[in-house]
Chains A and B, each alone.
Chain A
Amino acid sequence: MKKYTFIIIALFAFFINAYLTKAQPTTKDASVKVTGEVTLPLDLKLADLQQFKQTEVTRKDRDGKDHTYSGVILSEILQKAGVTLGKDLRGENLTKFVQVTASDGYQVVFALAELDKDFTDRMIILADKVDGKPLLPADGPFRIIVQDEKKPARCIKQVSGIKVQFAK
């Protein structure tokens, strides 16, 4: 009898497990892949971003109002990936650019020197929050925010990839 109970429980558990696995949402978490001229490719999820120092940038959005965005300075992420910044950003490395791609296919580029704090005080961050709240799904979960740039066109939404390349 004990044996049958075990089999029944095992079968029940099997079906429940199959049901639960199927019932679980199939959706995955978005991430940002850092690739190209790097020594360590990265695939950053929202939680990974919290491991970096958090920085805030305030700028106007399309609505014409100031918003406070928080996230990580892009060059700190690139530094972790082993990109040539700081004392290594000289010579041919000055021909490098960073191509940022969004999940809607939109792409923008920054010269690597635009991101380096030895070149500029203007901050460019990979933001995950606006006014203390997570970005809306249609804008996030990751968005580049360029401090003080007049047009918001390079504040690219739904960032999915950051690729460092040499200009040919």
Chain B
Amino acid sequence: MKINKYNIVFIRHKGFVILVLLLLITALSAWTTIRDAIETGPYQLVYPANFGNRINVPDDNPTTKQGVYLGRLLFYEKKLSANNTLSCASCHQQDKAFTDGKALSEGVDQVLTARNSMSLANLLWTRKFFWDGRAGSLEDQAITPMINPHEMGQSLDVSVKKLSNTATYPALFKLVYGNETITGDRICKAISQFERTLISCNSRYDQYLKNAYLPTRQELNGMNLFMNGPNPEKGIRGANCAHCHGGPKTYNELFHNNGLDSIPKDVGIESLTGLAADRGRFKVPTLRNIALTSPYMHDGRFKTLEEVVDHYSDHLKESEALSTFLRGESNDIGGKTLHLRPDEKKDIIAFLNMLTDSTFINDPRFSDPNKTIALKKSKSNSK
């Protein structure tokens, strides 16, 4: 058999050549898989009619399928943190309705954040972000935790460099923005697009509003107490929660001093406005998935919903800035506090548990895409 020099080279380096070929094939198939899997075009934001259409999508960042795809990857991307250990999802975990179960969260420098990680749901309708409402859009909000030294602690310039040096991101940015240039602005925009898709609308309360769920007696009692203001003269018992937490979304974008302290350590919005009336004033957060987002309040001081309801019922602290809507509300004639009975508190908590949306926390569209890909691979291997 005639052996020419090419064959000798091939035989000598057979292993190497096969390896190179294999790598080429893998890279090619990975490339085509990504290209094939990504749908493009406008993203349909689907939500119930009773949520209303007062949504907040900036004109310069329309929601697209490819943008949401990229945003989801970035939301779970640890390269966006100084030591590659944290992503947005570290403090916003899907199984905890995008909170982290901690009073305050540890950043890349092991320093705790100043305030409790907020739950993410129905941000499409939110116009003011953070506990003090200081950001007017998700795009403005998203940058802060990324560059804060006590959170992800990395400048956008460094993030841009790190992402530019990856195999996948430049092509994805091209798919979303028309060219491969990665910028801090584009990172924030894509993350915001993904966050706008985090729509929670299938709790038992949503189903009840659609006449598709019959609440238990306890849940109904709790719902009535939640919705009604107390009127002891007329024999109406209530907790008046809906005054600030009402509506199908259980979110009204309000900011109040809710009587946590007479002299607050964290003055809240006052630090932005310098107004005494804003002292200890914070966002009234959404109650959606509230049973999953312990601990509660801007500083995570309450571990359980029982403690929260006890606070509103019996322990409001007086101060000049205390919300006018928390004053003089009582179930006793001439009373100073709500003074709910123990069974009524349990009923309210039963209703609050109706706000848990298990579809939302298990929705594969919102989960860690790296895990999904790993899962798919292991599934196809086992076949």
User: Which of A's residues lie within 8 Å of B, judged by CB?
Assistant: 26-28, 30, 103-106, 136-139, 157-158
Which of B205-213, B253-261, B355-363 forms contacts with chain A? Answer: B253-261
B273 to chain A, nearest CB (A): 7
State which of A27, A139, A157 has its C-beta within 8 Å of the C-beta of B275: A27
Interface SS of chain A: loop
A129 to chain B, nearest CB (A): 16
User: Which of B's residues lie within 8 Å of A, judged by CB?
Assistant: 128, 133, 252-256, 270, 273-278, 281, 320-324, 327
Task: Return chain A residues, CB-CB under 8 Å to B252.
Answer: 105
**Which of A137, A138, A157 gathers most chain B CB within 10 Å?**
A138
Complex Cα–Cα for A157 and B254 (A): 13
With A26-B274, A27-B276, A28-B274 known as contacts, the answer to whether A104 contacts B254 (CB < 8 A) is: yes
State which of B270, B273, B281 has its C-beta within 8 Å of the C-beta of A104: B281
Q: Is the CB of B254 within 8 A of A106?
A: yes
Q: Is the CB of B276 within 8 A of A138?
A: no
Q: Which residue of B lies closest to A107 (CB)?
A: B253
Q: Which residue of A lies closest to B323 (CB)?
A: A138
The 7 closest A-B pairs by CB, nearest first: A138-B324, A28-B274, A105-B254, A27-B276, A137-B320, A105-B255, A105-B253
Task: Return chain A residues, CB-CB under 8 Å to B273.
Answer: 28, 103
A146 to chain B, nearest CB (A): 17
With A138-B321, A138-B322 known as contacts, the answer to whether A158 contacts B277 (CB < 8 A) is: yes
Q: Is the CB of A138 within 8 A of B320?
A: yes
Q: Which residue of B lies closest to A62 (CB)?
A: B328
Give 13 A-B pairs besides A105-B128, A136-B324, A139-B324 with Cβ atoms closer than 8 angstroms: A27-B275, A103-B273, A104-B254, A104-B256, A105-B252, A105-B253, A137-B276, A137-B277, A137-B320, A138-B277, A138-B321, A138-B324, A138-B327
With A105-B133, A137-B320, A138-B322 known as contacts, the answer to whether A28 contacts B275 (CB < 8 A) is: yes
With A137-B320, A139-B324, A157-B324 known as contacts, the answer to whether A103 contacts B278 (CB < 8 A) is: yes
